[in-house]
């Protein structure tokens, strides 16, 4: 067994302590505060049964703090005096640092790196406990959160009426909203009276049923400043609200219980207005897009109608009596030319035969047989000419009869086509989307531009635009009814 010197033993104890406790959190009551000219702060932390020496070196101290050293929360009201400048005996604090051994006195001590008043530490513990409780009850479940209505027309804002939060919200809603109505429900947003008043305001707005959405907003601040929105009474009121709730409490780094229970969390009060209404330029672009789509659809419809009409016009022209008569005249001309040619050929052959007979007559002039043949030939020529004339007369009669029948047939077809064209014209007029409006009817479409064709297309509370002959009217569905049933807004 070796014998250690005091220095060796102290060094081993120092190594054991510093390696075993590299970073610790300690809560206790401040006592024996000492502030020498070096700027270091020496004090002790005590409880009922023990005492711990502590040192807060000047290099770890800050004159002003812009954020909570324990939570990282940025102070909304600006930098605050560090605890190093206000540390006093009897104060309850939480310290974070490392343990070390101070060899000259042979004792261990806490080297402080961070320090915070114990009051906020208790608030954080209470906040975490409430979060666990509400999470077990399903308050934070995403499945229960409801969608926020698009372009709400009636908004109830629950906040302090004179704070910067409501001014920013109203300014942005004026720049982005579309003529919506906003009602301010004034409540305190800080202090012991705030939680019950906020919960009561949420319940009042639900009883009235006026608003499309409830907005709960407050400007930034410390954890104590925002504590009213970490109250279980407020969380219960937000949870049981039948109207969707948008919460914008503090700054983006601030997350309250009310934010977590609300249907939609906004990073700031201004962000809440941005979430509720898009920019007006978006509306202008939407109108331009709809106008362009409507013009394109109208031009396409008219082009299709023109093509259809052109096709029907060509078909009608082809089947018209005038075109049929022209074709008959053309055919009649062809037949007449063929008949003339055949007659000319027949006559030429007859004349050739007559000339042959006449030439023979000079040789057999005295022959009675020749005279008889000549008479027979003349008679035959007369009969042939009479037959040809009768044949031409019969052909002409048949042509006249066929022409009359064809004219009657084409007249009936033309009347049928005219009736069919009238029916198509009536159908085209019936398909005109503006036609029913002129007869006193109206049609409705949703906020995203879809026509309402069935009760399944709308829900109670939905906003609709009704198109009538000389304009539009915005309305809201209070009930949806089918045969034998009714669904009203709760």
**In angstroms, rounded to a whole number, what is the distance separating the alpha carbons of residues 53 and 57?**
13
Residue 67, pLDDT score: 64
- Helix (H) / strand (E) element for 174: namely helix 164-176
Residues whose CB falls within 8 Å of the CB of residue 398, separated by 6 or more in sequence, listed in order: none
- One DSSP character per residue, 147-166 reads PPPSS-SEEEEEE-TTSHHH
Q: Is 4's pLDDT higher than 90?
A: no
Q: At what angle do helices 164-176 and 269-276 cross, to 10 degrees?
A: 20
The confidence band for 119, taking pLDDT boundaries of 50, 70 and 90, is low
Upper half-sphere CA count for residue 122 (Cβ side, 13 Å): 8
DSSP state of 179: S
Angle, CA of 394, 397 and 402, to the nearest 5°: 125
The confidence band for 77, taking pLDDT boundaries of 50, 70 and 90, is low
**In angstroms, rounded to a whole number, what is the distance separating the alpha carbons of residues 394 and 386?**
12
Residue carrying structure tokens 């022959």: 367
Say what the alpha-carbon torsion angle 238, 239, 242, 248 is, to the nearest 10 degrees. Answer: 40
Residue 490, pLDDT score: 44
DSSP state of 2: P
Name which CATH class applies to 124-278: alpha beta
| Residue 25 token pair | 């959190």
Question: 130-161 b/e with 16+ CB inside 10 Å = b?
Answer: bbeebeeeebbeeeeeeebbebbbebbbbbbe
**Inter-residue contact 34 to 40 (CB < 8 Å):** no
The confidence band for 488, taking pLDDT boundaries of 50, 70 and 90, is very low
Residue 484, pLDDT score: 56
**Inter-residue contact 226 to 163 (CB < 8 Å):** no
DSSP state of 191: S
Name which CATH class applies to 6-118: mainly beta
Residues whose CB falls within 8 Å of the CB of residue 388, separated by 6 or more in sequence, listed in order: 343, 346
Q: Is 91's pLDDT higher than 50?
A: yes
Question: How large is the average pLDDT for residues 216-229?
Answer: 82
- Pairwise pLDDT comparison (64 vs 158), residue with the higher score: 158
The confidence band for 122, taking pLDDT boundaries of 50, 70 and 90, is low
Query: pTM to 2 decimals?
Result: 0.42
Domain boundaries, the chain: 6-118, 124-278, 284-323
Q: Is 1 exposed, middle or buried (0-12, 13-18, 19+ CB in 10 A)?
A: exposed
CA distance from start to end of the chain: 86
**In angstroms, rounded to a whole number, what is the distance separating the alpha carbons of residues 109 and 128?**
30
**E strand map for 149-304:** 154-159, 181-186, 213-218, 245-249, 264-265
Strand partners, 216: 158, 247
Averaged pLDDT of the chain: 81
CA distances from 8 to 4, 18, 101, 110, 486 (A): 6, 15, 13, 21, 89
Q: For residue range 346-399, what is the model confidence (pLDDT) as tens digits?
A: 878 887 887 777 776 666 555 565 567 667 777 877 887 787 778 778 877 777
Q: For residue range 240-297, what is the model confidence (pLDDT) as tens digits?
A: 999 999 998 887 667 888 999 999 998 888 888 888 877 655 555 666 678 778 888 8
Q: For residue range 443-472, what is the model confidence (pLDDT) as tens digits?
A: 888 888 787 888 888 888 888 888 888 888
């Amino acid at each position: 067994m070796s014998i250690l010197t005091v220095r060796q033993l102290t060094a081993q104890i120092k190594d054991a302590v510093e390696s075993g406790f590299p970073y610790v959190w300690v809560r206790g009551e401040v006592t024996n505060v000492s502030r020498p000219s070096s700027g270091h702060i020496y004090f002790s932390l005590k409880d009922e049964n023990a005492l711990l020496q502590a040192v807060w070196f000047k290099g770890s101290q800050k004159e002003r703090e812009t954020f909570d050293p324990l939570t990282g929360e940025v102070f909304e009201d600006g930098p605050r005096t560090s605890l190093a400048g206000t540390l006093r005996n009897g104060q309850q604090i939480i310290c974070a640092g490392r343990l070390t051994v101070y060899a000259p006195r042979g004792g261990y001590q806490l080297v402080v790196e961070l320090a915070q008043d114990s009051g906020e530490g208790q608030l954080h513990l209470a906040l975490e406990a409430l979060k666990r409780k509400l999470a077990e009850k399903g308050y934070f479940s995403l499945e229960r959160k409801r969608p926020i209505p698009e372009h709400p027309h009636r908004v109830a804002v629950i906040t302090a009426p004179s704070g910067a939060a409501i001014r920013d919200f109203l300014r942005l809603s004026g720049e982005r909203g579309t003529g919506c109505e906003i009602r301010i429900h004034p409540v305190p947003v800080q202090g012991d009276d705030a939680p019950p008043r906020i919960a009561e305001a949420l319940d009042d707005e639900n009883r009235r049923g006026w608003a499309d959405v409830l907005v709960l907003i407050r400007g930034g601040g410390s954890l104590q400043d925002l504590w009213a929105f970490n109250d279980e009474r407020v969380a219960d009121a937000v949870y049981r609200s039948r109207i969707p709730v948008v919460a914008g409490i503090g700054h983006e780094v601030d997350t309250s219980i009310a934010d977590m229970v609300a249907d939609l969390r906004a990073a700031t009060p201004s962000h809440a207005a941005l979430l509720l209404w898009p920019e007006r330029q978006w509306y202008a672009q939407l109108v331009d897009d709809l106008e362009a789509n409507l013009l394109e659809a109208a031009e396409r419809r008219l082009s299709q109608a023109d093509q259809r009409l052109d096709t029907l016009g060509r078909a009608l022209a082809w089947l018209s009596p005038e075109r049929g008569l022209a074709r008959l005249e053309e055919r009649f001309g062809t037949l007449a030319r063929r008949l003339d040619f055949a007659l000319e050929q027949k006559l030429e052959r007859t004349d050739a035969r007559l000339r042959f007979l006449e030439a023979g007559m000079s040789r057999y002039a005295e022959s009675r047989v020749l005279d008889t043949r000549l008479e027979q030939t003349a008679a035959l020529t007369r009969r042939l000419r009479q037959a040809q004339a009768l044949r031409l007369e019969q052909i002409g009669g048949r042509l006249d009869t066929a022409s009359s029948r064809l004219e009657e047939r084409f007249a009936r077809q033309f009347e049928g086509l005219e009736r069919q064209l009238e029916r198509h014209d009536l159908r085209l007029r019936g398909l005109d989307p503006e036609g029913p409006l002129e007869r006193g009817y109206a049609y409705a479409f949703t906020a995203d531009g879809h026509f309402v064709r069935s009760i399944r297309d709308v829900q109670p509370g939905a906003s609709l635009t009704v198109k009538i002959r000389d304009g539009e009217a915005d309305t809201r569905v209070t009930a949806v009814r089918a045969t034998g049933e009714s669904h009203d807004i709760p």
